[in-house]
Structure 1
Amino acid sequence: MSRRCFRRPVHPRTPRQVAFDRPELNAILGLYGRMVVAGLWRDYALEFDADRAVFSAYKRTSERPEAQIVKCPALMRRQGAWMLVGQTGSVLKRGHELEPLLRLLERRLIKLVDA
């Protein structure tokens, strides 16, 4: 007799997939635009699953994503709903808010200018 994994019935008010809100997506795409202008990123991908939403930024389309911004509401009370994942797949930063994660990526845009 095989064991099956039965899913709980979905409550009509619970979303079937996790997505970015409009202000979150505006902040992420604003950073993406600045990174494109700087020549650091060229492409992006969005992935929406039942448990997480992922924004992946690529320098070249054929490579692994250079950075991934992950929203996972199930971890909201524990480690924070937001994760920044690097190119190797390691978690660079976790948090309860999106802005500190984006600031970590924006550091790459700061350049020293000679006076």
Structure 2
Amino acid sequence: MRNFSRGDVFAAACPSRQILQHVTSRWGGLVLIALREETLRFAQLRRRIDGISERMLAQTLQVLEGDGLILRKDYGEVPPRVDYTLTPAGREISARVFALSDWIEKNLPELLALTPDAAPQTVQ
């Protein structure tokens, strides 16, 4: 493994670009936000993140675990019991992703008003 003093997200070969892509992907950010305050099981995550398929959730969890942002604890029980929690780095980045999503939610009416082609949508 190469030793980096700092990443360069603008460099095509820098691993920071791949991690940024995972964190800001459609599902990666939502998984990080969902795990922000508690440890959850797979089914709990799937219920929390409306619209995510089992396959996509499994892939997303695997990628974020590979990036060192999520810990997976398998209890080796039948039926399977697996918990997911954030690592210290995962907690830090989750807080930042949450801050961004919170800003978007708070400013949604203004953002939609600025989008000329935005169709009216129900906000929950």
Higher share in strand: 1
TM superposition score normalised by structure 1: 0.23
Greater RCO (CA < 8 Å, at least 6 residues apart): 2
